[in-house]
């Protein structure tokens, strides 16, 4: 079979490496992929948001199955376009991807169906938002409605900062059109857990839980990033918590989407906070998390392609989805300065004897075949082990074997998780 994966980051590299193990797949294409993914798939220079280009390529090359991984192409309707050409896909249609594409939609969905989340108000008028903030409890959380690459969220510790955030979103439009509508919500506390799940709209199968580290610097300081590292499983996510989440969050969400005529098929990502009042949804994503995927898929025992086909066919209940009873750690190596200004174009080398799995996010090949840095997050170094502590120690030992100028990484990935034990 010929399978194409839309996207070109570390998450897509992890998906491609997992799919590569499937005996059912003969050829894997990545659109556009990257310099590192090129070792595992045929990379074709078609952008992830170029729906026409993707569809034309799929038709011309008789693609049997497509996996649409990033948020933008999903929210723009790439799955709908491919399906219209008769190509089965893993990923939600546009009308279901809105669960990530609009925070106003997802907050209203949770309110309507009683799914636990932070209390909130939505605004499409700046004066009203500012007036509400005069008396809102502080800290407060302000979110731009649309996709803003994970950066559309401001946690305001003071009233002044809250006013500034609203003005910059709604007047200065720092997140563009996303600032037309905003959500102002209650500040929650507690450990965060990412739970990715497979769902065909009837059955929901949570994957092993994980924990992201979103801030740029050690001890959760610095700016929010796309994610500086992950561990799995998340020790705060006990069996009791998992059971509660299934009953109060996962199944109700799938049913709510069905009731709205927006059946969700693909990977539904639950960003949860385990608050003193129980688990609550911080965000939904309509796709695999990045870099959560880099620790979740290495622990998957079942053939990923079999699962993806069952999701597309609506037969997920017939697949026995199994994970290894082990742990994984991903340390992201970034370009110094990320998520703001950074330089690129430095050669990446890996010492002989590096035992880590390396998932490349931002790199390209030059004419001489050298791998050069080409993004903020450059790659993820991933190790697995029976115990979390050993997975973390191994990942950090292997990071020492990966080199490029101006490399930057956090030194405390997994530290909070180890304290939970
Ligand atoms: P989001 O893009 O919605 O996942 O938000 C990014 C990060 O902001 C989350 O991972 C949380 O750490 C934090 N956050 C979002 N909403 C809240 C909230 N209501 N209370 C506390 N922290 C939040
Ligand atoms: N790691 C968080 C996300 O993928 O949105």
Q: What is the pLDDT of residues 353-411, one digit of tens each?
A: 999 999 999 999 999 999 999 999 999 999 999 999 999 999 999 999 999 999 999 99
* CATH class of residue range 119-186: alpha beta
Identify the CA nearest to 329 among candidates 271, 415, 205: 415
DSSP assignment of 34-85: -TTGGGTSEE----TT-HHHHHHHHHHTT-SEEEE-SHHHHHHTHHHHHHHT
User: Which CATH architecture group holds 192-318?
Assistant: 2-Layer Sandwich (3.30)
- Going by C-alpha positions, the residue among 95, 48, 103 that lies closest to residue 75 is 95
Is residue 130 scored above 90 in pLDDT? yes
Give the residue-averaged pLDDT of 342-349.
Answer: 98
Q: Which helix (H) or strand (E) holds 20?
A: helix 10-20
- pLDDT in the model for residue 152: 79
Our mutation pick for probing the ligand 2 site, out of 70, 103, 225, 227, counting the most ligand atoms within 8 A of Cβ, is 227
Contact 31, 52 (CB under 8 A): no
Residues forming beta bridges with residue 42, ordered by sequence position = 29
Compute the distance between CA of residue 284 and CA of residue 122 in angstroms, rounded to an integer.
Answer: 17
Ligand 1 pocket member 12 (CB < 6 A): no
CA of 154 to the centre of ligand 2 (A): 16
Distance 273 CA to ligand 1 centre (A): 9
- Tens-place pLDDT, residues 234-252: 999 999 999 999 999 999 9
Of all residues in the chain, what percent carry a pLDDT higher than 90? Answer: 91
Residue 180: per-residue pLDDT: 81
Q: Which CATH architecture has domain 327-420?
A: Alpha-Beta Complex (3.90)
pLDDT at 174: 80
At 37 the pLDDT is 98
Of all residues in the chain, what percent carry a pLDDT higher than 70?
Answer: 99
- Which residue, by CA, sits nearest to atom 9 of ligand 1? 282
Residue ranges of the chain that CATH labels 3.40.50.20: 2-91
Enumerate residues lining ligand 2, CB below 6 A: 150, 212, 227, 285, 289-290, 292
CATH 3.30.470.20 in the chain, residue ranges: 192-318
Other CB atoms within 10 A of residue 144 CB = 26
Question: Is the Cβ–Cβ distance between 187 and 140 less than 8 Å?
Answer: yes
- Other Cβ atoms less than 10 A from the Cβ of 183: the count is 23
The closest residue, in CA terms, to atom 4 on ligand 1 is 283
Q: Which atom of ligand 2 is nearest to the CA of 11?
A: 4
Helix (H, G, I), strand (E, B) or coil at 309: helix
Would the pLDDT of 129 be above 60? yes
Mean pLDDT (whole number) for 78-83:
98
* pLDDT for the residue 360: 98
The fold of 2-91 is Rossmann fold (3.40.50)
Q: What does the pLDDT look like over 189-246, one tens digit per residue?
A: 999 999 999 999 999 999 999 999 999 999 999 988 989 999 999 999 999 999 999 9
List the structure tokens of 258.
């069905």
CA separation, residue 292 to residues 119, 275, 297 (Å): 27, 21, 9
Tokens found for residue 66 = 């497509």
pLDDT at site 5: 98
Domain(s) labelled CATH 3.90.600.10 in the chain stretch across 327-420
Given ligand 1 and candidates 141, 220, 285, which is best to mutate, with the most ligand atoms within 8 Å of its CB? 141
Average pLDDT of the chain is 96
Range(s) within the chain of domains with CATH label 3.30.1490.20: 119-186
Residue nearest to atom 3 of ligand 2 (CA): 289
- Which atom of ligand 2 is nearest to 285's Cα? 5
Q: Which ligand is in closest contact with the Cα of 294? A: 2
Rounded Cα distance between 230 and 330, Å, is 5
Mutation test of ligand 2: which of 282, 285, 286, 293 has the most ligand atoms closer than 8 Å to its C-beta?
Answer: 285
């Amino acid at each position: 079979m010929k399978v194409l994966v839309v996207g070109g980051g570390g998450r897509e590299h992890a998906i491609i490496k997992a799919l590569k193990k499937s005996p059912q797949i003969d050829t894997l294409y990545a659109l556009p992929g990257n310099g590192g993914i090129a070792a595992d798939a045929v990379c074709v220079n078609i952008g992830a948001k170029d729906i026409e280009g993707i569809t034309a390529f799929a038709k011309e090359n008789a693609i049997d199955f497509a996996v649409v991984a990033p948020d933008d192409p999903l929210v723009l309707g790439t799955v709908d376009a491919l399906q219209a050409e008769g190509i089965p896909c893993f990923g939600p249609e546009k009308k279901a991807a809105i669960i990530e594409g609009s925070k106003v939609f997802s907050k209203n969905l949770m309110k309507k169906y009683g799914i636990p989340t932070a209390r909130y108000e939505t605004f499409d008028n700046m004066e009203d938002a500012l007036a509400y903030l005069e008396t809102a409890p502080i800290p407060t959380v302000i979110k731009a409605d649309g996709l803003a690459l994970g950066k559309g969220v401001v946690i305001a510790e003071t009233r002044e900062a809250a006013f500034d955030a609203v003005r910059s979103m709604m007047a200065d439009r720092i997140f563009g059109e996303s600032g037309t509508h905003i959500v102002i919500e209650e500040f929650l506390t507690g450990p965060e857990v990412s739970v990715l799940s497979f769902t065909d709209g009837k059955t929901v199968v949570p994957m092993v839980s994980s924990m992201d580290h979103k801030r740029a610097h050690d001890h959760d300081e610095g700016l929010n990033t796309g994610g500086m590292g992950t561990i799995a499983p998340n020790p705060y996510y006990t069996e009791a918590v998992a059971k509660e989440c299934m009953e109060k969050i996962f199944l109700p969400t799938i049913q709510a989407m069905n009731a709205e005529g927006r059946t969700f098929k693909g990977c539904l990502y639950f960003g949860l906070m385990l608050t003193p009042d129980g688990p609550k949804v911080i965000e939904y994503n309509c796709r695999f998390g990045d870099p959560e995927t880099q620790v979740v898929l290495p622990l998957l025992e079942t053939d990923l392609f079999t699962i993806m086909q069952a999701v597309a066919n609506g037969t997920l209940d017939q697949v026995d989805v199994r994970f290894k009873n082990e742990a994984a750690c991903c340390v992201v190596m970034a370009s110094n300065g990320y998520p703001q200004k950074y330089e690129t174009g430095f050669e990446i080398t890996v010492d002989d004897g590096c035992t880590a799995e390396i998932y490349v996010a931002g790199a390209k090949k030059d004419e001489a075949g050298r791998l050069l840095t080409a993004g903020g997050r450059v790659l993820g170094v991933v190790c697995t082990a029976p115990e979390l502590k050993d997975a973390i120690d191994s990942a950090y030992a292997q990071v020492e074997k990966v080199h490029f100028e101006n490399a930057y990484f956090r030194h405390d990935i997994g530290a909070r998780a180890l304290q939970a034990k």
